[in-house]
Amino acid sequence: MRLSPTLRLTVLFGLAGFALGLPKDGGEDRGNDDHSSGHGGGGDHGDGHGGGHGDHHGDGGQGGGHGGRCPHFGNGTFEIHQWQLYPDTAVFDFDSCIMYIRYINKTCLGRLAADGTQRAVQRQRDQV
């Protein structure tokens, strides 16, 4: 599934507001129709620690103590399709090349119900 074409990200450079924006027509929205596109011929990704990644060790060359163990992730913007996931925080394991994603569920509804938040939301909406 592709993201809404209305999505756009714009870089504001300091006070000057220098824009380096992505196209509004979704041109940067590569989606995840082909999830294997980022493997770069890395073979089976697997679930084990380091399994299948030996060929990639050190090929990152980008700095970072662990950054070179996993293949380049070339999928661009992607979506996770899982009912009721609501991801909030994620960490990447540079050894096994998988992520741990903490998700929220009912508690965030309560958070939004906080009076102060509701007022803030309304104020923001009024400004739009």
Q: Which of residues 62-91 bind another protein (CB under 8 A)?
A: 62-91
What DSSP string runs through 91-106?
EEETTTTEEEEEE--H
107 lies in the site for another protein, by CB under 8 A: yes
Q: Which residue has the tokens 């909030």?
A: 88
Residue 35 beta carbon to another protein: minimum distance, rounded to whole angstroms: 4
Burial of 86 per CB tally in 10 Å (0-12, 13-18, 19+): middle
Amino acid 42 reads G
11 lies in the site for another protein, by CB under 8 A: yes
Residue 19 beta carbon to another protein: minimum distance, rounded to whole angstroms: 10
25 lies in the site for another protein, by CB under 8 A: no
41 lies in the site for another protein, by CB under 8 A: no
